[in-house]
Amino acid sequence: MSHVERVIDIDASPTEVWATVADLDFVGDWNPNVISATTSDGPFGLGTTRSCEFTPSGRIDEVVSAWEPERLLEFEVGRHGGIRGARMGIKLKPADSVTQVTAIADYELAFGPLGPVMDRLMVQRQLGRMLQRSLDGLKQHVESARSNAMPARIRGATE
């Protein structure tokens, strides 16, 4: 199994970050890799299914495999393209006045003996860029929502 992760600090509490990542239908609002998403009916949590349309890789079906509010959200992903299976996740960790967010991908390629070579030459870099774009979008979304919620005098506007 291969592993890729990226980390970013977001100027917000874990509660604020969780409110965004746990709203599963709206992942496309902050993740530039996602064109659209639909989820199964019912409250979000362990076992929720979600279908995301990704650019450029197409539709991926996911199942929530870990749901620990303000701490961890993970999805199991079945076979897709050259990936035999994957576990994708977002971990939240309070750190001083920010939340450290880690995007994680653990996956197995389906290319037999060529898999490890393709992984080192191509997949790890592409997946790393995708995870970083996702984190950058999350940071921008959460911090701008937080900034817009502040009274004008705190944001520096004149009265």
Tell me the pTM.
0.85
Q: Residue 89: its pLDDT value, please?
A: 97
Q: Work out the average pLDDT over 126-133.
A: 93
Whether residue 107 is predicted with pLDDT greater than 80 in this model: the reply is yes
Task: Give the pLDDT mean for 128-142.
Answer: 96
Whether pLDDT at 3 is above 90: yes
User: In the prediction, which pLDDT does 93 show?
Assistant: 98
For the chain, the residue count is 159
pLDDT, position 138: 97
H helices of 25-76, where? none
Domain 2-149 class, CATH top level: alpha beta
Overall average pLDDT of the 123-142 stretch: 94
| Distance (Å, whole) CA 95 – CA 79 | 35
Instruction: Please state the rounded mean pLDDT for residues 112-125.
Output: 77
Q: Where are the alpha helices (DSSP H) in 10-123?
A: 14-21, 115-118
